[in-house]
Amino acid sequence: MNGRVVTRVTYLPVSHVAPCAGEQAIAIPPRVALHLGLTAERSYLYTSYATEDDWPFDLAHVPGSGDRFDYGFVPPRLFAAVAADFAA
């Protein structure tokens, strides 16, 4: 890509919409949502599908941040649960 270093990343969507039949998602605990700066509304991390993009060229910044692409790290136990659910 014109001499640019590109890293392909996979990420899982987060939504306030509860999963429909046939979809898999893990509810983000309120304390974790607060830590990540999400709204107080219930959030779900979908594990039934993922998106791939070129880092950082195809990704949008966190609204209002100007230079951040992420909301932060999830606790290891939640990460492990999400990874296992996604792998299944």
Domain that holds residue 74: 7-87
Tally the domains of the chain: 1
CB atoms within 10 A of CB 43: 20
Mean pLDDT of 39-52: 93
Separation CA 75–CA 41 (nearest Å):
19
Cis amide linkage into residue 56, ω under 30° from 0:
yes
Retrieve residue 38's tokens: 């999400």
- Quick one: average pLDDT of 22-50? 93
Any domain includes 75: yes
Task: Kindly report the number of other CB atoms within 10 A of residue 20's CB atom.
Answer: 8
Query: Looking at residue 1, what is its pLDDT?
Result: 52
In a domain, 2, yes or no: no
What are 49-72's pLDDT values in tens digits?
998 988 777 777 778 887 877 778
Say which residue the tokens 């919409």 belong to: 17
Structural domain includes residue 31: yes
Answer whether residue 81 is part of any domain.
yes
Phi, psi of 7 (to 5 degrees): -115, 130
